[in-house]
Every structure is written in structure tokens, then in C-alpha cells.
Amino acid sequence: MSSSSSISISSSSSDDELDEQIGASIDRITAHLLEELQNPSPSRGPRLQRRYIDRRRAEAEQRLFRDYFAENPTYPEYKFRRRFRMRKSLFLKIFGDMEASHDYFKQRPI
């Protein structure tokens, strides 16, 4: 296969023309991107916010403590084991070891 056109980059005038064409292309692309950022297309629509669900975490924490860790817990130890799949004594040992070795798990004074 023979090529019907040849590329010649020997003259400085063609280099200047190429630089001007590249510069003009970059200017057009930049202008287009800036306009898109300043005036977003209406087809995207407004961004929807996620619905907030109040999970009452503080109440759940108090209920968990009352149900399993209080002086007189609501549920016996075999229910703890069934729910958390470990003995309460093992959980308390893991908790104590984590609290002793990592400051993150220590309760800070209010």
C-alpha cells in the first residue's frame, strides 16, 4: 500500500501553524469546559438528598446495656450467647483487653 499524502515537518512556518492550531483547540476546549462548569446542563436535574432516618442510637445503647450488661439484666446469659454468638465473659475479656491497649476504646470524661 502506498501513501497518497506525505507529511513534511521541515519548515518552521508549518511548526508555527501547528502550534497556533493546537493553541486554538486548547482555547476552545477550555472555554467549553468553563461554560459547562458555570452553566450546568438542565438535563442533570437537581441532586436529591438522602432521607434522614432517626435511629435513636442513644436509646438503643441504653437498651442494650439494660438488656445485657446491667446489674440485673433483662435477658439471661444464654440469650446473650445466642444473639452475639459468644459467651458474655469472652466479650467482656475482649472489651477489657481493647480498652487497656487502645486509647480509642476508653471512655472520655464528659
Query: Is residue 86 pLDDT above 90, yes or no?
Result: yes
**Is this prediction's pTM over 0.85?**
no
pLDDT in tens, 11-27: 667 888 888 899 999 99
Query: Is residue 2 pLDDT above 70, yes or no?
Result: no
Mean pLDDT to the nearest integer, 80-108: 90
> Mapped to the 3 state alphabet, what secondary structure does the chain carry?
CCCCCCCCCCCHHHHHHHHHHHHHHHHHHHHHHHHHHHCCCHHHCCCCCCCCCCCCHHHHHHHHHHHHHCCCCCCCHHHHHHHHCCCHHHHHHHHHHHHHHCHHHCCCCC
pLDDT in tens, 17-71: 888 899 999 999 998 888 888 876 666 667 788 889 999 999 999 999 999 999 9
Spans of all domains in the chain = 76-110
| Res 44: pLDDT | 62
